[in-house]
Structure 1
Amino acid sequence: MKVLGFVLNVLWLVFCGLWMAIAYAVAGIICFILIITIPFGIASFRIAAYVLWPFGRTTVERADAGAPSCIGNVIWMIFAGWWLALMHIATSIPLFLSIIGIPFGWANLKMIPISLMPLGREIVSTDERFAGW
C-alpha cells in the first residue's frame, strides 16, 4: 500500500499538487506580510504541505478547537478560502476529462472543506488510530 501511495502522490504532484501548493504558499506569504494574519499564514503553509503530498494522510478536527477557530475560519473564508476552493474546482474539471484523472478530480473536490475552514483541523497519517479510517 505504501508503494501505491507513493505512486499516487507523484502523479498528484505532477497533475495538480504543485500549483495548488503554490497557491496556498502565496496565500501564506500574503498573510505573513499583513502581520496580524500570521496564524492564517501558518495554517496556509500547513495545508500547502498537505496538498503537495496528500495520499496517506487525512485531516481530523482538533479536540481543543473552539470559538476562536470558528471565528478565524469565517475570516479566512471571506478573504482567502473562497478563491482557494474555486482553484480546487477549476483544477478538478480538466482532471475529470480523462479516466486517469477522475480519482484526482475527486480528491481535489474533497479538499474544498479544508480550503474553506483550515483552522481547528490537524493533518494526520491514515495509519494512525485516530485518523478516522
Structure 2
Amino acid sequence: MPTGKQYAHWYPQLASAIRVWCPDIIHVEEEPMSLACAQTALIRSWKAPNAHFLFFTWENVHQRWLLPNLRAIAYPLFERICYRAANLAIAGTQSAKRILLERGFTKPIAVCPQFGINVRQFTPLPQER
C-alpha cells in the first residue's frame, strides 16, 4: 500500500537549471499530485512561461488522503497546480486516463503504454513440433 511519501520530493536546483536551459518543452515524469510536479509547474510559469508543460501518470486508482493528514491538503493542491499548468498529460494506461478525467483534467491526454505488447497486433507464430 502506498504511503504517499513517494510524492514529497523536490529539486533544489531546478529553477536555475530551467533558467539556463530555456526549454521549449518541459516533460515531468512524476504524478501530478507530487511536489516535484507542482514545483516544476510553478518554476516553468516564472522562468519559462512559453514552454509547453506535460506530465506522465500511472495513477489508476483514486487515492484519498483524510484529514488531519497533511497529504489531504497538499496533494490535491499540487494536482490543481499541475492541471492548470499542463498543456498535455500522458497516461500509461486507459485506466490512468480515466482517473485524470474523473479528477477534472480537461486538457488533451495521450495514452502511451511503456511496457508490454499489443497482443492483437503481435501474436506468436505457431510452433512446429
TM, length-normalised to structure 2: 0.26
- Structure with the larger helix share: 1
Which of the pair is proportionally richer in strand? 2
